[in-house]
Amino acid sequence: MVATDKPAYRVIGSRPVRPDGADKVTGRARYGADVLLPGMLYGRVLRSPHAHARIVRIDTSKAEALDGVRAVASWDDLPPKNWDELPNLGEGAAETRWMARNVFASDKALYKGHAIAAVCATDPHIAEDALGLIEVEYEVLPPLLDVREAMDPNAPLLHDDLYTTDLSGGGTSDEPTNIGKHLEFRSGDIEAGFEEADIVVDREFETSMAHQGYLEPHNGTAMWSEDGELTVWNSSQGPFVVREQLHMLLDLPLSKVKVVPMEIGGGFGGKIPVYMEPMAAILSKKTGRPVKMIMTRQEVLEATGPTSGTWVRAKIGATNDGRIVAAEIELAFEAGAFPGSPFSAGALCALGPYDIENQRVEGWDVCVNKPKVAAYRAPGAPATAFAVESVLDELAELLERDPIDLRLQNAAREGTRLSDGTPLPVVGNIEVMERVQGSEHYRSELQGENRGRGVAMGYWRNGGMETSAHAAINQDGTINLVVGTVDIGGLRATHSMQLAEALGLEYDDIRPQVVDTSAVGRSSVTGGSRSTFAAGWAMHELAQDLRTQLEARAAQIWGVERDEVSYGDDAVVRGPEAEDGSERSVSFKELAGQLYGSGGMIQARADVSPTTVGPAYAGHVVDVEVDPETGKVDILRYTAVQDVGKAIHPSYVEGQLQGGALQGIGMALTEEYFYDDDGVMRNSSLLDYRMPTALDTPMIDAVLVEVANPGHPYGVRGVGEVPIVPPLAAITNAIHAATGVRMQKLPASPRAVLNELLSEET
Amino acid sequence: MQALKVVRPTTIAEAIEQLNEGGDGARPLAGGTDVIVIARARVRDIDVLVDVKQIPELTAIEWDPDSGLTIGAATPCYELYGNADVVQNYPAIIDSATLIGGTGIQGRASFGGNLCNSSPSGDTIPTQIVLEGVANIAGPNGERSVPVEDFCTGPGRNVLGQGEFVVSISFPAPDASGGARFLRFIPRNEMDIAVCNAASAVKLDGDTVRWARVSIGAVAPTPLLVQGAADALVGKPLTDETIEAAAEASKDAATPIDDMRGSIKQRKHLSAVLTRRTLQQAARRARGEDIPSVGGH
Nearest to A690 among B185, B187, B273 (CB): B187
Query: Do B294 and B94 form a contact (C-beta atoms < 8 A)?
Result: no
Query: Which of B103, B188, B251, B276 to probe by mutation at the A interface, max A CB count within 10 Å?
Result: B188
CB contact under 8 A, A630 and B190: no
Is A560 in a helix, a strand, or coil? coil
B4 interface with A at CB cutoff 8 Å:
no
Measured CA distances, A244 to A90, A93, A241, A255 (Å): 11, 12, 5, 10
Coil vs helix vs strand at A5: helix
Using N-to-C axis directions, what is the helix angle for A277-287 and A239-250, rounded to 10°?
A: 60
CB A296 within 8 A of CB A323: no
Given this model, what pLDDT does residue A84 score?
Answer: 54
* Chain A residue with the nearest C-alpha to that of B1: A125
Contact (CB, 8 A) for A266 and A488: yes
Q: CATH topology of B5-171 equal to that of B178-286? A: no
B193 touches chain A (CB under 8 A): yes
Contact B265 A758 (CB under 8 A): yes
> Which chain B residue is nearest to residue A695, measuring alpha carbons?
B189
CA-nearest residue to B277 within chain A is A629
**Domains of chain A (ranges plus CATH)?**
21-28+464-608 (3.30.365.10)
Local mean pLDDT, 10-residue blocks, chain A (762 residues): 62 97 96 97 98 98 98 93 52 69 96 98 95 98 97 96 91 94 97 98 98 97 97 98 94 95 97 98 98 98 98 98 98 97 98 98 98 98 98 98 98 98 98 98 97 98 96 98 96 98 98 98 96 97 98 97 97 96 96 96 97 98 98 98 98 98 98 97 96 94 98 97 98 98 98 95 66
Q: Comparing C-alpha atoms, which of A369, A371, A377, A207 is closest to residue A305?
A: A371
Task: Please give the pLDDT value at position A762.
Answer: 60
Residue B297 to residue A627, Cβ atoms within 8 A: yes
Tell if the CB–CB gap between A751 and B263 is shorter than 8 Å.
yes
Q: What is the pLDDT of residue A318?
A: 98
Q: Among B20, B250, B218, which residue's Cα sits nearest to residue B138?
A: B20
Rg (CA), chain A: 27
Query: What amino acid is encoded at A4 in this protein?
Result: T
Q: Which of A596, A649, A605 is nearest to A482 (CA)?
A: A605
Q: Is the pTM of this model over 0.90?
A: yes
**By the 8 A CB rule, do A267 and A239 touch?**
no
Could you give the strand order of the β-sheet that contains A230-234, starting from the edge strand earlier in sequence?
A69-74, A115-121, A41-47, A291-294, A219-224, A230-234, A257-261
Letter string b/e over residues B46-69, b meaning 16 or more CB atoms within 10 A of that residue's CB: bebbbbbbebebbbebebeeeebb
Kindly determine whether residue B297 and residue A630, on different chains, have CB atoms separated by under 8 Å: yes
CATH number assigned to the domain covering B178-286:
3.30.390.50
Q: In whole angstroms, give the CA distance from residue A73 to residue A286.
A: 9
Mean pLDDT by 10 residues, chain B (297 residues): 88 97 94 93 89 98 97 98 96 96 93 98 98 98 98 98 97 96 94 95 96 98 98 98 98 96 97 98 96 69
pLDDT at A91: 40
Q: Domain limits of chain B? A: 5-171, 178-286
**3-state DSSP call for residue B201?**
strand
Are residues A530 and A462 in contact, defined by beta-carbon separation less than 8 angstroms?
yes
CB within 8 Å of B70: residues ≥ 6 apart: B60, B61, B62, B136, B168, B169, B170, B171
With contact defined as beta carbons under 8 Å apart, do B166 and A672 qualify?
Answer: no
Q: How far apart are CA A549 and CA A545, in angstroms?
A: 6
Residue count (chain B): 297
Q: Is B259 exposed, middle or buried (0-12, 13-18, 19+ CB in 10 A)?
A: middle
Give the pairing type, strands A700-705 and A633-643. parallel
Q: Does B195 touch chain A (CB under 8 A)?
A: yes
Among all residues of chain B, which has the CA nearest to that of A628? B273
Q: Which residue of B has its CA nearest to A132?
A: B42
Q: What are phi and psi of B96, to 5 degrees?
A: -70, -45
How far apart are alpha carbons B149 and B222 in whole angstroms? 9
- Locate all alpha helices (DSSP H) within A439-485, ordered by sequence: 440-443
Q: For residue A27, with 0-12 CB atoms within 10 Å meaning exposed, 13-18 middle and 19 or more buried, which class applies?
A: exposed
Amino acid, single-letter form, for residue A37: L
What is the tens place of the pLDDT at every residue in B121-147? 999 999 999 999 999 999 999 999 999
Q: Looking at residue A580, what DSSP letter applies?
A: T
- What is the CATH code of the structural domain delimited by B5-171? 3.30.465.10
Inter-chain CB proximity B1 and A632 less than 8 Å: no
Would you call A687 and B192 a contact, using CB atoms and an 8 Å cutoff?
A: yes
Question: Which residue type is seen at A651?
Answer: S
User: Of the candidates A584, A588, A601, which has an alpha carbon nearest to the alpha carbon of residue A503?
Assistant: A588
Continuous H helices in A53-140: 61-65, 96-103, 124-131
Looking at the complex, report in whole angstroms how far the Cα of residue B237 sits from the nearest Cα belonging to chain A: 24
Does A693 sit within 8 Å of B189, measured CB to CB? yes
State the Cα–Cα distance between residues A579 and A750, nearest whole angstrom.
83
Return the SS3 of A657.
Answer: helix
Distance CA B244, CA B242 (A): 5
Whether chain A has a CB inside 8 Å of the CB on B45: the answer is no
Residues 59-88 of B with CB under 8 A from A: none
Instruction: Decide if B269 and A632 are in contact by the 8 Å CB cutoff.
Output: no
Predicted-complex ipTM score: 0.94
Could you tell me if B214 and B199 are in contact, meaning their C-beta atoms sit under 8 angstroms apart?
A: yes
* Yes or no, beta carbons of B261 and A688 under 8 Å apart: yes
Best A297, A625, A630 residue to mutate vs chain B (most B CBs within 10 Å): A630
Under an 8 A CB cutoff, do B187 and A632 touch?
A: yes
- Per the CB < 8 A criterion, the answer to whether A262 and A235 are in contact is yes
* A696: chain B residues, CB-CB within 8 Å: 188-190
pLDDT of A8 reads 84
Q: Is B3 on the interface with A (CB under 8 A)?
A: yes
Residue A741 CA: distances (Å) to CA of A185, A628, A667, A747, B55: 32, 11, 18, 14, 56
A25-31 contact pairs (CB < 8 A, 24+): A29/A263, A30/A262, A30/A263, A31/A216, A31/A219, A31/A235, A31/A262, A31/A263, A31/A264, A31/A265
